Structure 1
Amino acid sequence: MFKLKETLAADVKAQVMNDFKAAIEALPATIPFIRRIFVGLNMNPAEQWDICLESEFDSLDDVKAYAVHPDHVAAAGILKDVKADRSCVDFEC
């Protein structure tokens, strides 16, 4: 999950969120070991987090490869200057 800086104007925040969603959800086309990926955008401004990212991989090694893949790094860079916080849980089903 990601929280964006509270100082962002609403229109800028919405644009960044939509750009991030589009970039992340396009990644399976270039990173074939992504089994599933989805970005949810918070619609309730009273909640703590702005973006939720859910992804599925076959192994922790695939997660690690995804983290450093140049296309993922570029997509993640969309939030570089506007991210206030990040929370992550990697788990096995």
Structure 2
Amino acid sequence: MTKHIILWTLKDELSAEEKAAVKAGIKEGLEGLAGKIPGLESIYVQADCLASSTADLMLDCTFTDEEALKAYSVHPAHVAVADSKVRPYTKVRSCLDFTI
């Protein structure tokens, strides 16, 4: 199994209302990939964070193996969500991939 963890920080210029809408869109879009990408075992977006957090959202995915993670990164459904709901609104992305 391979884990894929992402932390995002949203752009500063977004208002609180815009950030809430963006978070909801990212959560809906990414979690909507469940069952659509081979090798993607689970996908979860944590969008409700405590004030002590230094990131705005977390993505937690589990894949069958590293090859499935590589295929996910270029899968058209994932790229469509990333290009429309994630990348335009994020300023920082941190990634940690590891095998369990």
Q: Could you state the TM-score of these two structures normalised by the residue count of structure 1? A: 0.92
After the TM superposition, list the runs of 4 or more consecutive aligned residues in structure 1 that deviate by more than 6 angstroms: none
Give 1:81 deviation, angstroms. Answer: 1.7
> How far did 1:42 drift?
3.6
- Which residue does 2:96 correspond to in 1? 89
Residue from 38, 41, 48 that aligns with 2:44: 38
CA-CA distance at 1:43 after TM superposition: 2.7
Count of matched residue positions in the alignment of Structure 1 and Structure 2: 93
TM-score (norm 2): 0.86
Q: Where in structure 2 are the equivalents of 1:5-84 lying within 5 Å? A: 5-77=11-83, 78-84=85-91
Q: Which runs of 5+ in 1 are unaligned?
A: none
Alpha-carbon distance in 2 for matches of 1:49, 1:7: 15
Residue pair 1:42, 1:49 contacting (<8 A) in 2 also: no
Which digits, 9 at most, give the CA deviation of each residue in 1:30-67, with x for residues without a partner?
A: 21321011000143244210010000011111000000
Which structure shows the higher strand fraction? 2
Structure-2 separation of matches of 1:79 and 1:90: 19
Q: Which stretches in structure 2 are left out of the alignment for 5+ residues?
A: 1-6
Would the aligned equivalents of 2:38 and 2:68 in 1 still touch at CA under 8 Å? no
| Aligned-partner SS, 1:29 | coil
